[in-house]
Structure 1
Amino acid sequence: MLIRIGYDIELGVTAPTALIYMLQVHPSRAGDIVGGENTTISPPLATDFYRDGFDNQCARVRVPAGVTRVRLRNEAQVFDTGWPDPVNLGAYEYMPDQLPVETLRFLLPSRYCEVDGELLAFAWSTFGQVPKGWSLVQAICDYVHQHLVFDYQSARPTRTALEAWRERVGVCRDFTHLAITLCRCMNVPARYVTGYLGDIGIPPVPYPMDFSAWFEVYLGDRWWTFDARHNTPRIGRIKIAHGRDAADVPITMVFGNHTLERFEVVTEEVVG
């Protein structure tokens, strides 16, 4: 199938600054983009493209004096198999001393994922007897899915995994942070993913379209997709970036005062 993706984001700025955006499709899906992405910046501004330490595609826009608004737009079509997220119930779990060294940073505490302390004790008391591997990660997803209530009105960009656990409410990033933290507490490498996820194969939901967050864990010899918010295999995920948590993968980041003037996201199956 073909999936149409895109965004229209406008930011107001008050002084010369730099704007970083992480909105390009991840290199792992670059071969699925039909005809490339069509990113435009209004007004046209000098832009530097680079890869970060997680191999995500990033861009720095240099905003000079006199510019008060920056508008980012993109539209593209991406080929997708149309299959749900793969499931491998037999995927096994490495002990920490056997993990590939590049996965170890996804076991450590990070900005929004407090692996030590209260959640560590809770994780081992709750999941310590669950069989390791896929069953353990699924048990964590089941718990987070039931423990948190999804509520856009409660969104807070500074909420950590521990705070979400205590408050029992959040949005997709909170479900993801809590699940990642519990996985890391149980010595399963877990990383945060941001990307597109539309209402493909499910009834439409009564929320405005947005970018989505889910997570990946390292089991066996690869990374596998899990989603504590939806807690079911989904069709049509298109990855933009991954990192230790949301702090590593900001959609946009402005160095200075700014306002969000427009935010529209599109992800839908191309029909006909």
Structure 2
Amino acid sequence: MRIRYGYRIELVCAQDLPLVTLLDVHPSRRHDLTTPDEMRATSLTDPLNELPMSQHLDAFGNICRRIVAPAGGMRLESEGVIFDSGEPDRISPDAREVPPSRLPDDVLPFLLGSRYCETDKLGAQAWSLFGNTVPGWARVQAIVDFVHNHLTFGYHFARSTRTAAEAFEERVGVCRDFAHLAVALCRAMNIPARYCNGYLGDIGVAPNPAPMDFNAWFEVYLGGRWHTFDARHNEPRIGRIVICRSRDAADTAMISSFGPHTLQHFEVITEELEEEPMRLMPRHFRQLDARPAM
């Protein structure tokens, strides 16, 4: 299948605003692009003024862009088409845990605590809740089931500073909180887990009337490879388009700015295209009220 995805974001600022974005599709999916999705940055006060930017990979291999928004503000927008297998997330019930002593060097960091995933605060709860579960896939699924049932989802619960331990106590959150808590509990059980951010449209499921947003899920290292889990939805989904992977949301902010600004406009789109060669569905975006992402 083909999936059309994209965004339009407008920031208003009173003076020049340096920023770094994490909005490009991850390098691991670039080969699936059927239509280029180059970001376009323009001045809000002079729409014909396309702003220069540079590009680099961060420490986790995600694509970053550096831009300076001029006084008055800027618009960031992109739209692309990606080929997807149409298969739901893979289920591998026989996948086994890999002892820390045998983990690859590049996997080890995903055993450690991080800004939003405090393994030290959740270690006792994790072993109390899951110490008697079958190691491997069954244990991770038990963690996902627990988080899915323990937290109540709601956009009005969004708080950018909420950590995994706070989500555990407050029992509310958005998709990033579900992912953070599941990641922290997995790491506390010596299972490497990494945070993911990307697009996830309503493909293969009942349409959600809420405006589209970026989504957070997580991956765990079992049986020598990474596997996808989603504590918010807790079911295999079709059409995930990963943007970035890291330790937690502190490393995956969509926009890191170095100065004051106001989010004026935020839109995201992810939808399956009709299978008609060289024909795109009519362009439309669904507007999302300004609020903390995920």
TM-score scaled by structure 1? 0.97
Q: Are 1:103 and 2:107 matched, yes or no?
A: yes
- Aligned amino acid, residue 54 of structure 1: F
Q: Per-residue CA shift, 1:166-198, capped at 9, x if unaligned? A: 000000000000000000000000000000000
Q: Which residue is 1:210 aligned to?
A: 213
How many residue pairs get aligned? The number is 269
- Answer whether contact 2:10 2:264 (CA < 8 A) is retained: yes
Q: Which is bigger in relative contact order (C-alpha 8 A, separation at least 6)? A: 1
TM-score, normalization by structure 2: 0.90
1:63 equivalent to 2:42? Answer: no
Deviations along 1:136-167, one digit per CA (max 9) or x if unpaired, are 10000000000000011111011000111100
Tell me which amino acid in the other structure corresponds to 2:33: I
Alignment of 1:90-169 (within 5 A): 90-117=94-121, 119-169=122-172
2: CA distance, partners of 1:157 / 1:26: 23
Distance 2:13 2:52 in 1: 16
Q: How does 1:1-272 map to 2 (within 5 A)?
A: 1-43=1-43, 44-64=50-70, 67-117=71-121, 119-272=122-275
Cα deviation for residue 206 of structure 1 reads 2.6
Q: Is the CA contact 2:98–2:224 (under 8 Å) kept in the aligned structure 1? A: no
**What amino acid sits opposite 2:104 in the alignment?**
P
Q: CA deviation at 1:220?
A: 1.0
Superposition deviation, residue 48 in structure 1: 1.1
What are the ranges of 5 or more consecutive residues in structure 1 without an aligned counterpart? none
Structure 1 stretches of 4+ with a deviation exceeding 3 A read none
Deviations 1:222-244 (A, max 9, x none): 11100000000000000000100
- Taking the aligned partners of 1:160 and 1:141, their CA distance within structure 2 comes to 17
The aligned amino acid for 1:73 is E
Determine the C-alpha separation between the residues in 2 that align with 1:150 and 1:188.
25
Q: Return the offset for 1:14.
A: 1.9
Please list the CA deviations of residues 111-138 of structure 1 after superposition, one character each: whole Å capped at 9, or x if unmatched: 1000003x11010011001111101100
Give distance in 1, aligned partners of 2:37 and 2:69. Answer: 22
Give the aligned residue type for 1:11: L
- Give the residue type in structure 2 aligned to 1:93: E
**Secondary structure, aligned partner of 1:86:** coil
For residue 116 of structure 1, give the secondary structure of its aligned residue in structure 2: helix
Q: CA RMSD in A?
A: 0.9
Q: 5+ unaligned residues in a row in structure 2: which ranges?
A: 44-49, 276-294
Report % sequence identity: 55
